[in-house]
Structure 1
């Protein structure tokens, strides 16, 4: 171990183990500062009780005056705070200097645990708050009116104890019936004004909550849509849904609602303090003792509650992910009789959530006991001392009644502020994840903007290496190269896991290759405008996804005015029908009760597999693409549906540049070229007949498929039938 090279004077301060309170020297001096603060506060209370009424120094009596004494107390508090900051800065600076002079391997000079995490958390909080402020800034006028209404409501509320005290004096001491009646009317007017302005403030803040909620959801959804596919490979759908549905509502409701309460309580506290000092400054100083105590308790509780809040949100998101996965695949769950294990997994996640909620409840219970008891103690002290002032004729009974009402109002204000600060901490904890997702940048570079006048669709992959972000240790493509010329039909075959579908995803620019290039017409695929390119490179997947909309809108998916397509380029009804005819589905659609306006249902549940596949083909063809990608377009279909879809594919492949991925060799037997992909590379390529004669990997695939087909053919063939060569290919 490298010895410490700090100077002798620095050794005791820097190289020795630091004192432990919270987080080192800073925590130690914070403890001392808190003690000094409490002593100075006690001194201020003693001055308020025993000090003479002279505000300024009196040379005749030798009284220094209240102003001088309170200024001294205030200066002492400021000096203690300044000393704490200077000492903390001095110790931190010496530590940093010593670290620079010593080896990084010196154990005693390592950075205390949590320093980096705390700095990162502060930066995250600052970004979260700034984002929320920016989203709320659009409602500045609305919130300003709401704040003004809240201030007027607080003023009216502060007048109620004032008029109450006057009523007591006019009824018991002065016994003035006219003033008693007039003041009672003022009390009712103040109560009515408080109610009206409170309602206005609450209504406007509710509108602000809704507007912020809408903005958060809109921006979060937009951010999720622009994320790279690697993010969705690793993120759980239930967690994403929880962020979008639950956390955004929590953030909007909690932050807006609590800021509403905070502003109301703060304004009310300021106005009440003014009236309290007007009624009796001595009692006001004594009452003021609960302010730092309440804030200190709220700060400690808020920090702890915030940590629990983040853990609660995380556990709830994981529980939602388990439920979402099970409900999204309920057929598979029931088919394998896995209901009990799914319920057990969900219950286990909820148990962790329950434990955290119990900790939250215990912390809240402790906080409420302290926060409720402290104001009552202060009230008892104020009432005891105020009673002595009334007995000494230094204060009227009505003023004491007003002051006690003020004190209760002030206690309620600071208790509300303490609750709000704790709730805001929890809301900021939930907002961290939302804002983090809103600001998350995709791993892929920014989309290109190139939109050429002509697009031939010449596809080229050069020495492509690729690994999925979710599986960085498992290479998928290893130096693969291929080229598809305009008008060619190139087929990719091979065993599962060889990388065929990954090639299609790279062509769509869903992922970035770790090495090599994917190009169209000699330009990298990432340079093209993605919307422009995806209208010219269409795909038909193995299991097409249809949405809960009409057949026509499913065929037009991505080509409507809402998608930013110019009106002149939006396909017409004739274009839709032409695409459906090419996909061999037009006659089926016309036979439906509502034709092209028939609903597909969620995920196309109202259509058969073959019908969904042919609608997906029509969706691809209505774009009039230069390049057509067919990724296992018939592998999930039965024999009849496959025949109908295959007829549609055979008719369209002659007029497009096509890249076909298939396991069933009957799909690609007439391809211009067939590429055999194995372990991420092209091991064979050529025409069907040539590859059969070569007797390599492709020939072996054909033989295995023929043997598999022959083993099941007796179930469907008549005795006089014999297998034709096209049945296997």
Structure 2
């Protein structure tokens, strides 16, 4: 009977408890490795992104970075351990089954091997197209995510302009592009599976015909043929798995390539500085400084600026929109490097100072302060390793933020919500000022930082500035702020106006300089 001929030919079956224990240990080990790899890749990628220059973020969309950080790192980390698990298991079984098949019929064994190159060739052609579609899908999904983040993040603007339907249409178009790519991916997959099954069926028919000839010739028994076909069915499954692993590896190459591209990218920044003197006067010198953004190198924003910011004085930097005022503040924070000239802090290039030290000594309060989810205290002490509550409250009092902090239910430990959405605009600005003051910086930059403050709060801030010997740079348009400055610098199209030009000018800033000159005389 066929059962008698099959029994001595089947490989020995291991005991079920031992097999289950081994499979569980193997699978658990690979899952543990996968989680560790995923955590490590995400951590390294996030760390690499935070160290990139600002020009990189101007050229790369946030949605694309988020897709690389979430989707692509997951593909990378899951492929290696899971596929290695399946690959090793399938490889061992393929070798074992082929040894049994070879003992039954070498001729049929070599004939069954003809299916392998056909499968590899079909898989290779399919993988080239599949990988290209996957890359397009990644970009399309990232674009759809970018639309969602822009619409939700700027919901107030969307509502103000009644653009809800416009955003819905944008998202619908992005999803339609994703749907078309998904449909194309699934269609090509279905055609590939159909071709593979037709080849497999053809090989089965060919082997049956060859096996029948061997039975008639007396080289093979019926039971041997049946055993061979059963073994061949199993080995075909594992060979398909091996080929699929190869294709899956190629499909993940695109994701891994982009992640490793970001990991290996070197920021366009000078070597990190090491200067951290115990005392700093805060004297800032711009010596013939020119600058153009990396994305627009042929359009200079600053052209040969030369001026000095003195300790104990407040300098007002004024000028029309687009004249380069905010760029001056960015250079002073070492966010960009001058394309020409020198920017010195206490006689040393600002890039030579240690990163953490520099940003404790040079603090900025922007026109639109950025707060993070967490408590009031977390936002004031942001970036500081340790800071007492007394020091935090002193900074809040100097910024006139202590009044509304005391009225909160949990005081300093009240949650401000995502991006500080639980606070009013003026309250956000006061917290941002307190965040700068708690560092006791030697150089303080106020970029329209008092635009949302009332007169009393602004006057208190100016009184605090006048009591110290720190260097203060104010970028403002309010007459009260400008008139109280020790010196006024006027920017126009990236250039400082000379004294003669200011005295002969008829614009608002020129008249302010003329009034200050008359008061000094």
TM-score normalised by the chain length of structure 1: 0.66
Q: Which residue of 2 aligns with 1:356?
A: 181
Structure 2: gaps (5+ residues): 514-521
CA positional deviation for 1:318 = 2.2
Q: Do structure 1's residue 625 and structure 2's residue 438 form an aligned pair?
A: no
Q: Does 1:679 align with 2:499?
A: no
Could you tell which deviates more after superposition, 421-430 or 468-477? 468-477
Partner of 1:644: 457
Residue pairs, 1:181-260, within 5 angstroms:
187=13, 189=14, 193-260=18-85
1:107-158: CA deviation from partner (whole Å, max 9, x where unpaired): xxxxxxxxxxxxxxxxxxxxxxxxxxxxxxxxxxxxxxxxxxxxxxxxxxxx
1:487 aligns with 2:303: no
Match of 2:391 in 1: 575
**1:654-681 C-alpha deviation (Å, 9 max, x unpaired):** 3121111111122232211111111111
> 8 Å contact 1:251–1:427 — kept in the other structure?
yes
* Cα pair distance change 1:587/1:330, threshold 3 Å: closer
Residue 151 of structure 2 is aligned to residue 326 of structure 1: yes
- Does structure 2 conserve the Cα–Cα contact (< 8 Å) formed by 1:493 and 1:675? yes
Q: Contact between 2:318 and 2:490, CA under 8 Å: does it hold in 1?
A: yes
CA displacement 1:543-574 (0-9 Å, x = unmatched):
111111111111110012xxxxxxxxx32222
Mapped to 2, the partners of 1:407 and 1:701 lie a distance apart of 94
Asked whether the equivalents of residues 548 and 600 of structure 1 are also in contact (C-alpha less than 8 Å), the reply is yes
Q: State which of 162, 170, 193 in structure 2 corresponds to 1:368.
A: 193
Kept in 1: contact 2:112–2:203 (CA 8 A): yes
Out of 543, 556, 563, the residue aligned to residue 381 of structure 2 is 556
**Other structure's SS at 1:450 match:** coil
Aligned to 2:518: none
Offset at residue 393 of structure 1 (A): 4.7
Pick aligned residue for 1:280 from 102, 105, 110: 105
Cα 1:665–1:407, aligned 2, differ >3 Å: closer, same or farther? same
Q: 1:666 aligns with which of 480, 489, 496?
A: 480
Query: Matches of 1:374 and 1:477 in 2, distance apart?
Result: 68
Quick one: distance in 1 between partners of 2:19 and 2:108?
A: 26
Contact 1:238 1:323 in 2 (8 A): no
**Distance in 1 (alpha carbons) for counterparts of 2:239 and 2:280:** 68
Give secondary structure in 1 for the equivalent of 2:408.
coil
State whether residues 540 and 630 of structure 1, in contact with CA within 8 Å, keep that contact through their aligned partners in structure 2. yes
- Measured against aligned partners, the alpha-carbon deviations of 1:679-728 in whole angstroms (never above 9, x if no partner) come to 11111569xxxx7x87654455769xxxxxxxxxxxxxxxxxxxxxxxxx
Matches of 1:427 and 1:185, distance apart in 2: 35
Confirm whether residue 595 of structure 1 aligns to residue 420 of structure 2: no
> Which deviates more, 417-426 or 503-512?
417-426
Summarize deviations over 1:514-534 as a string: whole Å, max 9, x none: 111111111111111111110
- Is this contact kept in 2: 1:477–1:681, CA < 8 A? yes
1:183 CA drift (Å): 10
CA spacing shift, 1:512–1:538, aligned 2, 3 Å = same
Residue 309 (structure 1) aligns with: 134
Question: Helix, strand or coil: the match of 1:584?
Answer: coil
- Equivalent residue of 1:312, what SS? helix
The answer to whether the Cα contact below 8 Å between 1:676 and 1:698 also exists between their aligned partners in 2 is: no
Instruction: Determine which structure has more spread, i.e. the larger CA radius of gyration.
Output: 1
Q: Deviations over 1:259-290 (max 9, x none)?
A: 43333322322222222212322221111111
How many angstroms apart in 1 are the aligned matches of 2:170 and 2:316? 43
Kindly state the Cα deviation for residue 490 of structure 1 after the two structures are TM-superposed: 0.9
Give the corresponding residue for 1:453.
278
* Distance in 1 (alpha carbons) for counterparts of 2:177 and 2:403: 55
Corresponding residue pairs, total: 511
Over 3 Å counting, the alpha-carbon distance change for 1:325 and 1:247 in structure 2 is same
Given that 1:273 and 1:410 are in contact with CA atoms closer than 8 Å, whether structure 2 keeps it comes out as: yes
In 1, the alpha carbon distance for the partners of 2:4 and 2:260 equals 60
Partner residue in 2 for 1:379: 204
Q: Distance in 2 between matches of 1:223 and 1:272?
A: 47
Q: CA deviation at 1:459?
A: 0.5
Q: CA deviation at 1:503?
A: 0.1
RMSD: 2.6
CA distance in 1, matches of 2:26, 2:439: 53
- Kept in 2, the 8 Å contact 1:247–1:431? The answer is yes
1:632, 1:226 → 2: CA distance? 27
Post-superposition offset of 1:331: 1.4
Write the deviation string for residues 278-333 of structure 1: whole angstroms up to 9, x where unpaired.
23222211111111111111112112211222122122222222222222111111
Q: For structure 1, which runs of at least 5 residues remain unmatched after alignment?
A: 1-167, 175-179, 561-569, 704-729
Give the Å deviation of 1:610.
Answer: 1.7
- 1:657 to 2:471 alignment: yes
Change (3 A) 1:539 1:392: same
Any idea what SS the aligned residue of 2:334 has?
Answer: coil
Taking structure 1 as reference, are residues 544 and 245 closer, same or farther at Cα in structure 2, changes over 3 Å only?
same
